[in-house]
Amino acid sequence: MNSGGAFWKTVRAEDALLRSFWKNFPCWSCGQPPGNDFNPVDYSHVLTIGAGRPDAWFNGTPQCRRCHTAFENNRLEFIDAHPKFWNRLRLMGWKIEIFVGKRRLWHPYLEGAQ
């Protein structure tokens, strides 16, 4: 923790490689091109690594910060509103399944997803 109370994120080698790869792509949700200082395109995890999900090729996409925030607030609602984004996730192997009566994101490389 720094003196301001903020936590520093540890950037893993694979995470850094994925970030450098995706930073040149437009936002997969709205099409925002890279290089916009006011709404930059970042590497976004489909399912958070903080919840124990992998930092792997299939678990990341380029998203502008506006879309990234909206996606993290409600992933399934965001997917419903952005069919092009969902089509790209499907091409990467993502599925929406019903689990215990609720929809959830799932990928074949995961044992379980939220």
Buried b (16+ CB within 10 A) or exposed e, 45-57: bbbeeeeebebbe
Tell whether the model's pLDDT for residue 72 goes beyond 80: yes
Cβ(81)–Cβ(96) below 8 Å: no
Q: What is the pLDDT of residues 19-65, one digit of tens each?
A: 777 778 899 999 999 888 888 888 888 988 777 777 788 888 999 99
d(C-alpha 99, C-alpha 108), whole Å: 15
The whole-number pLDDT of residue 13 equals 56
Q: Rounded to two decimals, what is the model's pTM?
A: 0.76
Flag whether pLDDT at 91 surpasses 80.
yes
pLDDT given at position 48: 82
CB 64 within 8 A of CB 39: yes
Average pLDDT value over all residues in the chain: 82
Q: Say what percent of the chain tops pLDDT 90.
A: 42
